[in-house]
Amino acid sequence: MASSPNFQLTDQVALVTGASYGIGRGLAKALARAGATVAVAARSTDALETLVEEIRAEGGTAQAFALDVRDVNHIRACIQDVHGALGRLDILVNNAGLGANHPALDVTEADWDEMMAVNQKGLFFCCQAAGRIMLAQGYGRIINMSSQASLVGIRDHAVYCASKGGVNQLTRVLALEWSASGVTVNAVAPTFIYTPGTAERLDQPAFRQGVLDRLPIGRVGTIDDVAGAVIYLASPAAALVTGTILPVDGGWTAQ
């Protein structure tokens, strides 16, 4: 008899970076509900402690860790701390990231360096540090948060588009290097997702309508939409999926 796809994450340890708010916060809760023990990480642990309490109140298991992805030594120390405290590391969700919009002629060197330090450099060295552990285990799932802006150009987002395009290429190369050793590497590329951070713009009728005009599905995304993709890629059900960029974009990039 054929077995059913397994989407459960029981007995697995997942690390979510940038977990203090927005999408990262929602992903941490979703991973815990799927059965994972969740390490939540961000620069400030104050909001993380509240998140840990909420996960535990739902019957999940979570622990907070301080992490500044702009500092490679801090990345390495944090991931070792997670591994030491929780005994293994099965899933890494690279969610920490920056977004900004500037006309290309207005971009400063500081704008460029700040975004690349988080969106590319920090993400890569999180992959590297987690990858060392996962390769030694012979198992791992890395999910990088990309964007629809990695697949199509968006006005006034030159640096952001470049940073997320780099995320896609890093994802593909790491998948080529690590998949034969049991570590899959994929990316999720969301459209506009309604969060406390995006509400200011999406609650403006003109801006929201401009977004909806580009979304064949007729609505903006939710954190649950992103969580569904992440849970799938983190689960045993996605064992044959690696090096893939999965748009969760309501059809934006189909045009």
**pTM listed for this prediction:** 0.96
Segment 131-150, tens digit of pLDDT: 999 999 999 999 999 999 99
Mean pLDDT score, 120-133: 98
Going by C-beta distance under 8 Å and a sequence separation of 6 or more, which residues neighbour residue 102? 111, 156, 158, 159
Q: In what order do the strands lie in the sheet with 183-190?
A: 61-66, 37-42, 13-17, 91-94, 140-145, 183-190, 245-248
Segment 81-110, tens digit of pLDDT: 999 999 999 999 999 999 888 899 999 999
* Residue 55, pLDDT score: 98
In the chain the domains, ranked by start, together with CATH numbers, are 13-192+222-254 (3.40.50.720)
* Residue 100, pLDDT score: 85
The amino acid occupying position 197 is G
8's tokens:
């459960």
* Dihedral angle over CA of 11, 85, 63, 76, nearest 10: -110
Query: What is the pLDDT confidence band of residue 45, given thresholds at 50, 70 and 90?
Result: confident
User: Does residue 160 carry a catalytic annotation?
Assistant: yes
d(CA 68, CA 160): 19
DSSP 218: S
Distances (CA, A) of 116 to 20, 69, 97, 112: 21, 11, 9, 6
Give, to the nearest 10 degrees, the angle between helix 22-33 and helix 223-234. Answer: 50
* Residue 56, pLDDT score: 98
Distances (CA, A) of 151 to 2, 167, 177: 37, 11, 23
Segment 17-37, tens digit of pLDDT: 999 999 999 999 999 999 999
DSSP 240: T
- With 60 as the cut, is the pLDDT of residue 1 above it? no
* Residue 2, pLDDT score: 65
Q: Show the CA angle centred on residue 129, arms to residues 125 and 134, nearest 5°.
A: 135
Segment 169-205, tens digit of pLDDT: 999 999 999 999 999 999 999 999 999 989 999 999 9
Contact 192, 214 (CB under 8 A): no
Segment 227-240, tens digit of pLDDT: 999 999 999 999 99
Mean pLDDT score, 41-67: 95
Rg (CA), the chain: 18
Catalytic-role residue among 21, 160, 194, 232? 160
* Residue 235, pLDDT score: 97
